[in-house]
């Protein structure tokens, strides 16, 4: 976990190394240049040499399924025909390990993971390796997205004892679930400098038989050390750290790592980092009259523009790929994750609020168009991901990026029409290829294609502005825009005939909560009711399919069944902290976008449940999992890094501030203070590891604005005032609609609302801070002036 290192990591488990091979999964460290060497243990391992076998005896997978065939997880089902006696995580596997005194082999991954696919193909389909795993170990397969608690607990061990972490994660446990060897991807065979998976298995079998006692002692010692190092607590601290010092240091760390030319905050690979961009926008707002404030805004806007122009964005079908393998955002790892789409649409909407540049709003709308088309269940929920691998043609083996890349010949055949008015002979295909950088030899360098799968292929990436492309061929800018859009649409229609990447149709409460925020915030900013309606549908899906009314608890997962049905695992997988935190955020955003108080009421109830299940009354902050659900795990953690997804504690800090603004309940403000105090040392040491929490720290120190609109929610003047608020970037506020009903939910929570009146029967706005409200305002232009102060 991140607290084991003082490096300013971008992503927990995502600290990528320089010049990693394409397809390296989420999770490798800055030292993890080859997953096969990522192993930590006290077990001696030999690699290569005359005694090493150079070939595995492979056969086609058995047609008889193992017990994973009864699971719902797409990832587990991908392994249901392995010749391995797999168990899902659970008591049956643990009892077998104890009864037979065998070590547990724990394999953790997710269904769209490229290197998980590789290890499954190379090792788990191998008959001999399957026998080793089945006879000498109790083999357990876990979908990290279903059980983030299991993943985080053992990833902490792997990162602490090896050169990094990542997926697939491979960990060997004692029957009491204590880890003693950990690694990531292993090739099946030994190489000159790397240990093969079969060798690892045989060495561990030997050590377990002959030297079990030292192994157990080492495991206990390491686990005890991890427990001590992972503790996050207030201790004697009663107050959070200094806001000015912490925010300034966070900004300086980001400024020092910013790529001036291409944007982003690393060399390569580069990840979308919405939490960093959100911090920079907030920092700009607080320091907008200073040089640092202008610098923060420039870094964020430049990064968003370079990402949107790069190959990390799917210019044909919209949406963003997982990360870029190069500094230029050119060649991506092609997997598409729901949580990236959700957070990036908010970031681009905020960029539009701040800059007024419609370039950013168009990108946001494109992301949501992709999600609505490719990642949406008919009942309103959102699927988890699309794979980066797919067959180039039906019947062929999958290759990464096959669905997304193009040859010059393909584009020329699809777009042969001559362009009228150009200063030289030109076809629509040539225009598109020039603008998006396609070449006959392909624009993917061999270093980014170690397996040679993408020779002659091209990733679309914007090479020139519309103005430069138009000037190059003597055309009008709007004509070029029309021609390029028409060309992309034809490529999109042609791409429909290619074999599609695997869809992970699992639905996670946490990521659905993020997506509700994405639709709600963007719909509100752009004034588009249909986007807000998608957010409403998502929230209804969560309440209908992922919420247990009797217990008040969220379920972590549900799955797309046949015929548009929704299925659940039995017993259900209950929600983790991130499920509650992200859903509560989504509901608060949805209330502000729709002004339907039912969503706010549900958010309050879920926050109460979150507090009951996860709050650490002794040390402050929230544990990632329920005590009962994580029974047996060596660590019960508090996530302490904002990475690909924000830390649930960071989001909870913001939620508590907003809920206090909506209700005046002092307990939530007290919990926010305790949470920030608990993470004080982490923010003080490495604030860049927690930019979302540093943003919450800043919001806590400032005064939250309660913007109250008194009026009929259906009236034009009320909507005009609401849209005025939505159009302005004001992160530290709550937006409240007072409809004049003294018995309404919000009037009961905030009695002062009953004293606010419409002025001359017009919709009227009040801006309240520190229990004092502004003079009444009826004109949107006057409200805008006040909010910009």
- Supply the CATH number for residue 764's domain: 3.40.30.10
Q: What are the pLDDT digits (tens) for 612-666?
A: 999 999 999 999 999 776 678 888 899 899 999 999 999 999 999 999 999 999 9
What is the pLDDT, as a whole number, of residue 222? 86
**CA–CA gap between residue 1 and residue 230 (Å, rounded):** 8
> At residue 450, does pLDDT exceed 60?
yes
Last residue of a domain, one of 454, 470, 504: 504
Is the same domain home to 222 and 275? no
Return the beta strands (E) in 529-670 as ranges: 547-548, 553-554, 557-560, 566-567
Last residue of a domain, one of 504, 527, 543: 504
Is 402 a member of any domain? yes
What is the pLDDT, as a whole number, of residue 22? 36
Is the same domain home to 218 and 344? no
- Burial per residue of 346-382, b for 16 or more beta-carbon CB atoms within 10 angstroms, e otherwise: bbbbbbbbbbeeeebbebbbbbbebbeebbbbebbbb
Q: What is the mean pLDDT of residues 751-768?
A: 95
What is the pLDDT, as a whole number, of residue 41? 54
> At residue 32, does pLDDT exceed 50?
no
How would DSSP label each residue in 731-787? -SEEEEEE-S-TTSHHHHH-GGGGG---BTTB-EEEEEETTEEPPPB--HHHHHHHH
Last residue of a domain, one of 487, 504, 521: 504
Is 62 a member of any domain? no
Is the same domain home to 352 and 448? yes
pLDDT band at 40 (very low <50, low <70, confident <90, very high): low
pLDDT band at 584 (very low <50, low <70, confident <90, very high): very high
> At residue 49, does pLDDT exceed 50?
no
Is 617 a member of any domain? no
What is the pLDDT, as a whole number, of residue 191? 83
- For residues 26 and 537, the model is more confident at 537
Is 652 a member of any domain? no
Task: Please state, for a pLDDT cut of 90, what percent of the chain lies above it.
Answer: 81
What is the pLDDT, as a whole number, of residue 630? 64
What is the pLDDT, as a whole number, of residue 425? 96
> At residue 122, does pLDDT exceed 70?
yes
pLDDT band at 259 (very low <50, low <70, confident <90, very high): very high
Is 295 a member of any domain? no
- Burial per residue of 557-575, b for 16 or more beta-carbon CB atoms within 10 angstroms, e otherwise: bbbbeeeeebeebeeebbb
Q: What is the mean pLDDT of residues 553-576?
A: 94
Is the same domain home to 224 and 321? no
What is the pLDDT, as a whole number, of residue 14? 34
Is the same domain home to 369 and 492? yes
What is the pLDDT, as a whole number, of residue 435? 98
Q: Taking all residues of the chain, what is their mean pLDDT, rounded to a whole number?
A: 90
Is the same domain home to 226 and 317? no
Task: Please state, for a pLDDT cut of 70, what percent of the chain lies above it.
Answer: 92
What is the pLDDT, as a whole number, of residue 453? 87
Q: What is the mean pLDDT of residues 746-752?
A: 94
Is the same domain home to 342 and 484? yes
Is the same domain home to 75 and 179? yes
**In the block, residue with structure tokens 């034809």:** 490
**CA–CA gap between residue 654 and residue 636 (Å, rounded):** 23
Is the same domain home to 219 and 331? no
Is 682 a member of any domain? no
> At residue 486, does pLDDT exceed 90?
yes
Q: What are the pLDDT digits (tens) for 365-410?
A: 999 999 999 999 999 999 999 999 999 999 999 999 999 999 999 9
What is the pLDDT, as a whole number, of residue 629? 66
What is the pLDDT, as a whole number, of residue 473? 97
**CA–CA gap between residue 528 and residue 365 (Å, rounded):** 10
Is the same domain home to 203 and 331? no
| Among 733, 607, 624, CA closest to 672 | 607
What is the pLDDT, as a whole number, of residue 5? 28
What is the pLDDT, as a whole number, of residue 267? 85
User: Is the peptide bond between 313 and the residue preceding it cis, with omega within 30 degrees of 0?
Assistant: no
Is 646 a member of any domain? no
- For residues 137 and 630, the model is more confident at 137
- Tell me the residue range of the domain where 491 lies: 269-279+309-504
What is the pLDDT, as a whole number, of residue 445? 92
> At residue 338, does pLDDT exceed 70?
yes
Is 626 a member of any domain? no
Is the same domain home to 274 and 206? no
**How many independent structural domains does the chain possess?**
3
**Axis-axis angle for helices 148-161, 212-230 (nearest 10):** 110
What is the pLDDT, as a whole number, of residue 323? 95
**CA–CA gap between residue 394 and residue 99 (Å, rounded):** 47
What is the pLDDT, as a whole number, of residue 628? 73
> At residue 219, does pLDDT exceed 70?
yes
What is the pLDDT, as a whole number, of residue 654? 98
Is the same domain home to 224 and 316? no
């Amino acid at each position: 976990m991140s607290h084991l290192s003082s490096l300013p990591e971008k992503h927990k488990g995502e600290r990528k190394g320089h010049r990693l091979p394409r397809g390296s999964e989420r999770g490798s460290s800055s030292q993890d240049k080859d997953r096969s060497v990522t192993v930590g243990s006290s077990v001696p391992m030999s690699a290569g040499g005359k005694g090493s076998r150079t070939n595995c005896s492979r056969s086609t997978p058995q047609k008889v399924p193992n017990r994973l065939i009864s699971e719902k997880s797409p990832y587990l089902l991908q392994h249901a025909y392995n010749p391995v006696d797999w168990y899902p995580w659970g008591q049956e596997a643990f009892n077998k390990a104890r009864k037979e005194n065998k070590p547990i082999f724990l394999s953790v991954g997710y269904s769209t993971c490229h290197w998980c696919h590789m290890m499954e193909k190379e090792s788990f389909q191998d008959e001999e390796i399957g026998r080793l795993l089945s006879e000498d170990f109790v083999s357990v397969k876990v979908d990290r997205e279903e059980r983030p608690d299991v993943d985080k607990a053992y990833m902490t061990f792997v990162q602490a004892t090896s050169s990094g972490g990542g997926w697939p994660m491979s960990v060997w446990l004692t029957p009491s679930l204590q880890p003693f060897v950990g690694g990531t991807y292993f090739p099946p065979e030994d190489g000159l400098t790397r240990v093969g998976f079969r060798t690892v298995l045989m060495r561990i079998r030997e050590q377990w038989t002959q030297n079990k006692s030292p192994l157990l002692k080492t495991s206990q010692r390491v686990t005890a050390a991890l427990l001590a190092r992972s503790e996050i607590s207030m201790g004697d601290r009663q107050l959070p750290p200094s806001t000015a010092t912490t925010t300034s240091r966070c900004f300086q760390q980001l400024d020092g790592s910013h790529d001036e030319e291409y944007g982003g905050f690393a060399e390569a690979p580069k990840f979308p980092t919405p939490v960093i961009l959100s911090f920079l926008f907030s920092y700009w707002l607080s320091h907008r009259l200073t040089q640092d404030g202008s610098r923060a805004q420039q870094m964020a806007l430049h990064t968003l523009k370079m990402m949107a122009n790069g190959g990390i964005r799917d210019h044909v079908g919209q949406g963003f790929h997982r990360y870029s393998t190069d500094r230029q955002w050119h060649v991506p790892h092609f997997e598409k994750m729901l949580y990236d789409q959700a957070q990036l649409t908010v970031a681009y909407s905020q960029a539009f609020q701040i800059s007024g540049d419609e370039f950013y709003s168009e990108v946001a709308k494109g992301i949501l168009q992709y999600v609505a088309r490719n990642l949406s269940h008919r009942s309103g929920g959102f699927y988890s991901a699309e794979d980066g691998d797919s067959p180039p043609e039906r019947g062929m083996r999958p290759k990464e990026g096959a669905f997304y890349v193009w040859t010059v010949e393909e584009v020329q055949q699809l777009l042969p029409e001559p362009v009228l008015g150009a200063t030289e002979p030109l076809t629509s295909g040539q225009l598109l290829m020039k603008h998006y950088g396609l070449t006959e030899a392909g624009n993917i360098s061999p270093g980014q294609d170690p397996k040679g799968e993408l020779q002659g292929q091209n990733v679309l990436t914007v090479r020139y502005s519309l103005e430069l492309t138009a000037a190059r061929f003597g055309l009008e800018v709007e004509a070029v825009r029309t021609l390029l859009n028409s060309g992309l649409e034809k490529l999109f229609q042609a791409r429909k005939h290619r074999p599609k990447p695997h869809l992970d149709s699992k639905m996670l409460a946490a990521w659905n909560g993020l997506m509700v925020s994405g639709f709600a915030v963007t719909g509100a900013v752009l004034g588009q009711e249909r986007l807000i309606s998608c957010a409403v549908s998502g929230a209804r899906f969560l309440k209908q399919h992922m919420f247990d009314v009797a217990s008040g608890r969220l379920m972590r997962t549900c799955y797309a069944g046949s015929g548009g049905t929704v299925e659940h695992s039995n017993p259900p997988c209950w929600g983790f902290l991130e499920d509650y935190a992200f859903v509560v955020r989504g509901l608060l955003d949805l209330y502000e976008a729709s002004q339907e108080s039912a969503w706010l009421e549900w958010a309050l109830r879920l926050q109460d449940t979150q507090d009951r299940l996860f709050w650490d009354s002794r040390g402050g902050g929230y544990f990632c999992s329920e005590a009962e659900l994580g029974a047996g795990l060596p660590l019960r953690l508090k996530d302490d890094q904002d990475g690909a997804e924000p830390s649930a504690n960071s989001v909870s800090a913001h939620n508590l501030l907003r809920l206090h603004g909506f209700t005046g309940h002092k307990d939530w403000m007290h919990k926010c203070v305790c949470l920030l105090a608990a993470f004080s040392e982490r923010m003080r040491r490495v604030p860049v590891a927690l930019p979302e929490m540093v943003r919450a720290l800043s919001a806590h120190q400032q005064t939250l604005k309660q913007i109250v609109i008194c009026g009929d929610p259906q009236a034009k003047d009320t909507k005009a005032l609401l849209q005025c608020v939505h159009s302005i970037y004001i992160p530290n506020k709550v937006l409240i609609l007072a409809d004049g009903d003294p018995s309404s939910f919000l009037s009961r929570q905030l009695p002062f609302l009953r004293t606010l009146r419409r002025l001359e029967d017009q919709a009227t706005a009040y801006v309240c801070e520190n229990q004092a409200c502004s003079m009444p305002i009826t004109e949107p232009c006057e409200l805008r002036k006040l909010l910009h102060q």
